[in-house]
Structure 1
Amino acid sequence: MNNFLRCMAIAALAAPLAWPAHAAPVNQNLPPQVVKALKANKIETNALSVVMLPLNAKGAPTFVNADVSVNPASTMKLVTTYAALELLGPSHQWKTEFYADGPLVDGTLNGNLYLKGGGDPKLNMEKLWLLLRDLRANGVRKVTGDLVLDRSHFIQPELPIFNDDGGDQNKPFLVGPDSLLVNLKALRFIVRNDAGKVSVAVEPPIANVKIDNRVKPLPAAKCPGWPDVLFNPVRDADSVTVVVSGKLAAGCRSQTYLSLLDHPNYAAGAVRAIWQELGGSILGQDRVAQVPEDARLLARAFSPDLVEIIRDINKYSNNTMARQLFLSLGAEFRNEADGDDSKAAQRVIRQWLAKKGLISPHLVIENGSGLSRAERVSARELASLLQAAWRSPYAAEFISSMPLAAVDGTMRKRLRNTEVAGKAHIKTGTLNTVRAIAGYSRDGDGNTWAVVAILNHPRPWGASSILDQVLVSLHNQRHADTAQR
């Protein structure tokens, strides 16, 4: 028996069961309003897995299709973020550094400038600008050598490219992780019609992103919610040209985000754009290599704390940042047998779960974000994780990272004008055939429950309202029970 299986076996024998036999009666039926909503949307009840566990008061837990292996979509981010909180710590930070391999004389670096990535999930343009300002404050004005990117922090896995609908691969939410991830690799295109003159700008202004403006100006009119402006990227060997076409009325604007460059070209282009604005120059080429051992540190920037990172991941379901965090777990704890940081992260998370007595035979983690067709879990396993997190020293940080119903994040437009508004911290999940929620919600007595509801169905249209009804029914059912007592 290998060490992992031995650890799982010992934990299974030693740890108490999450729901012992002498616990309160178990409810195995869906709330009537949920059943009604399923029928209204012509979805079978066996497509929905639901677990509701009382956390700070007595009550009958609900288990419906609780042990079915399902795709959790982005609720998988709860596994990654909770593991990171306990394994890396809430104050964990990532660093990004500039190094030099030559002397600095009168503002001129006679050598190469190295930018070493540390896997920062939130190295945005503001942070990069501040880092370059620090480089300038340390005396650098001109670099005679190359701009060298060190992307060696992660050992990247070879994973299948995910595209749920077979559509535009330039969507920012499909951006993969990288040791040197800059600004989530997003380009923002802004189209404006000012008094009949149409302009197109791109941020950041990377030199090898060119604009072919073919937008036709229209007379002033009410600005539509979805302007008739199209963005068509055309790539060649050294650059990408974005053909912008369509029509735009005077006084109106349109914007979109695209990911058009690979990680090295984006990072180098962003550095050069900001450095030029700061009055600096880099005379050499862009290339990828590791920082030499004898290189000299010039400037360093730290990321926000992990607590802020997981808030961005869970509130806004940021896939790229979740994948960065997942690989960061692997990079932090990898050993020679892992092969890559994805396998290392999988091993570390499973060992961590086993030590907590959370044996999860259905759990399959591919990239830690839920943007995957391979990832699996059961509703019972995810609810067990939420139950354990409730008892964690970092419970407050974990819970507050999730969207607040009807208030913010991916739940800001849901459950408005209901009694659940502002009373549930819920992570959402959406794929073409998946709708999911998982988190914490209050009943009518103000008690907190762990709630997981995952629907896997070929046509999950209207399923978000079904899952919302799970939360509403939980609140109303507890209120009804109180009235009967």
Structure 2
Amino acid sequence: MWGLLLGLCSMASAAHADPSLLQVLSGPGLRGAAVSVLVVDRRSGEELFARYPDRRLVPASNQKLLTATAALASFGPTHRFVTEVGASAAPDAEGRVSRLSVRGGGDPSLTSEQWWRLAADLRALGLREVSDLLTVEDRIFDDERWHPSWQPVTARAYHAPVGALTANYGTFRVRVAPGAGVGAPAQVTIDPPIPYLALVPRAMTGAPGSRASLRVDRLAVGATEQVQVAGSIPVEGKARDIYRSVAHPTRYAAAVLRQQLEANGIRVLGATRRAPMPAEGVPLLSFEGYELARVVALFMKNSNNMIGEALIKAMGRGANGTPGSWPRGLAALRRILGERGVDLAEARLADGSGLSRENRVSARMLVEVLRVADRSFELAPELLASLPIAGRDGTLEKRAEAARDRVRAKTGLLTGVTGLSGFARTAEGRDVVFSLLANGYRAGDRAAMRQVDRFVAALIGQP
């Protein structure tokens, strides 16, 4: 009883310390919302403002703070995921091998450009032809590509599947531009331009002043994925880029690899198959991806869901070769952060990206994670550098203009859910750590985000 009264008094005194913050939280954009808010002094940890700081809410992509911190603590900022390449034998005098095998190492950041670099490295080793078979292996992760709580899964890029062997974050781009005149077919291109992505362009060029109305559907058809593009784009309109996810990440990665081998003058004559790398054979290449610090920056700045799930599964991979999975990865995250003093006993964790609505964390938990990372010589530089900067880059590039350069924070957004957690510097030069989570507001998401931006503006002392 006394503890409850003390907590209520503490909350009230914090609110009275800066009534402008409480006023912003009561604004129209967050009307009807359940909130969890905590602001503490960065140096001392003194609570400066609190509003239901222990209430557990859906964090959306604020969940990525847990994943990024745990991954940096688990692997270290200079860790590189490795993709192994082997062959049935060393290339012969003509640079020929009968079978080329690739084993995914869980690198979530391999793009077409990096697959080109891998292929160029193989050419430098003398490879010129794969005469029989190209095999790809992705067994270090389990076969669950989408978390069950994400249903219904769509073809949107944010629903990209997770796998141990991937390309372009499991996504591709469709570009639609106006055709030669009204009624003409629109110009439709796909990137990467590979046979695996079978383009079916049906979009047309609309009248001047008409509204662009485009639809891109992705369908798995046999061993390929059909990309259907329909609708219209006005004749004077600008080209539109639309991103979609693939259905089969390993097949997609294999198709991108095959394209880049051929781009480097390495002919692939046989079929492509998903199969384990044979124990017999000759290792050709251990291709190292980006340092984890860079992977985490891509993950956080762009709020890339697939990277988060791959990091969770990588943390969950057993020393005995047990494939990484969501349950094992999240158990590892709890252990890693718990060892550093973050109490997640009351948290509910479903995934690594925050896409699941089953996640439940509080503002206090997120502030604890930020403070633990901030006090760590190993973690602080990379984690802070990965956070979007208000008004400058990432998911805050076009937000919180009043707090430009003075807030570094992770955003979060699902329908009816928003949040912002990070660091801020007030007008008086005081550095604070903060977290604001809001669920169930009556206004739309845009209005709620604007209200959150007003909160950080008030927090740093801007009108």
Residue ranges of structure 1 left out of the alignment (5+ in a row): 1-19, 480-485
Cα separation, 2, equivalents of 1:385 and 1:241: 43
Q: Please name the residue that 1:404 is paired with.
A: 389
Q: Please name the residue that 2:200 is paired with.
A: 212
Name the CA shift for 1:171/1:107 in 2 (closer, same or farther; >3 Å): farther
Give me the TM-score of the superposition, normalised by structure 1: 0.84
User: 1:334·1:344 contact (CA, 8 Å) conserved in 2?
Assistant: no
User: 2:39·2:48 contact (CA, 8 Å) conserved in 1?
Assistant: yes
Name the CA shift for 1:266/1:26 in 2 (closer, same or farther; >3 Å): same
SS at 2:298's partner residue?
Answer: helix
Match of 2:56 among 46, 65, 69: 69
Q: Please name the residue that 1:443 is paired with.
A: 426
Aligned positions of 1:88-103 closer than 5 A:
88-103=75-90
Check if 1:468 corresponds to 2:447. Answer: no
Q: Please name the residue that 1:374 is paired with.
A: 358
Aligned positions of 1:307-456 closer than 5 A:
307-331=293-317, 334=319, 340-393=324-377, 394-416=379-401, 418=402, 420-456=403-439
Distance apart, 1:260 and its partner CA: 3.4
Name the CA shift for 1:208/1:370 in 2 (closer, same or farther; >3 Å): same
Cα separation, 2, equivalents of 1:361 and 1:26: 28
User: 1:115·1:149 contact (CA, 8 Å) conserved in 2?
Assistant: yes
Deviates more, 1:186-195 or 1:137-146: 186-195
Deviates more, 1:314-323 or 1:342-351: 342-351
Cα separation, 2, equivalents of 1:25 and 1:192: 56
Q: Please name the residue that 2:163 is paired with.
A: 178
Amino acid at match of 1:439: G
Name the CA shift for 1:156/1:215 in 2 (closer, same or farther; >3 Å): closer
Distance apart, 1:365 and its partner CA: 2.1
Cα separation, 1, equivalents of 2:227 and 2:289: 32
User: 1:214·1:244 contact (CA, 8 Å) conserved in 2?
Assistant: yes
Name the CA shift for 1:45/1:53 in 2 (closer, same or farther; >3 Å): farther
Distance apart, 1:454 and its partner CA: 0.3
Residue ranges of structure 2 left out of the alignment (5+ in a row): 1-6
Name the CA shift for 1:368/1:214 in 2 (closer, same or farther; >3 Å): closer
Check if 1:278 corresponds to 2:264. Answer: yes
User: 1:74·1:429 contact (CA, 8 Å) conserved in 2?
Assistant: yes
Check if 1:247 corresponds to 2:235. Answer: no
Q: Please name the residue that 1:123 is paired with.
A: 110
Name the CA shift for 1:270/1:89 in 2 (closer, same or farther; >3 Å): same
Cα separation, 2, equivalents of 1:25 and 1:252: 52
Amino acid at match of 2:354: G
Distance apart, 1:251 and its partner CA: 7.5
Aligned positions of 1:105-124 closer than 5 A:
105-124=92-111
User: 2:342·2:369 contact (CA, 8 Å) conserved in 1?
Assistant: yes
User: 1:330·1:344 contact (CA, 8 Å) conserved in 2?
Assistant: yes
Q: Please name the residue that 2:3 is paired with.
A: none
Name the CA shift for 1:65/1:334 in 2 (closer, same or farther; >3 Å): farther
Aligned positions of 1:24-43 closer than 5 A:
27-28=14-15, 31-41=18-28, 43=30
User: 1:131·1:301 contact (CA, 8 Å) conserved in 2?
Assistant: yes
Check if 1:295 corresponds to 2:281. Answer: yes
Cα separation, 1, equivalents of 2:45 and 2:274: 59
SS at 1:246's partner residue?
Answer: strand
Distance apart, 1:123 and its partner CA: 0.4
> What is the root-mean-square deviation in Å for CA atoms of aligned residues?
3.0
Cα separation, 2, equivalents of 1:176 and 1:113: 25
Cα separation, 2, equivalents of 1:261 and 1:30: 52
Deviates more, 1:99-108 or 1:397-406: 99-108
**Kindly, what percent of the aligned residue pairs are identical?**
27
Distance apart, 1:68 and its partner CA: 1.3
SS at 1:304's partner residue?
Answer: strand
Aligned pair count reads: 449
Check if 1:85 corresponds to 2:72. Answer: yes
Distance apart, 1:423 and its partner CA: 0.6
Cα separation, 2, equivalents of 1:158 and 1:316: 21
Cα separation, 1, equivalents of 2:361 and 2:18: 23
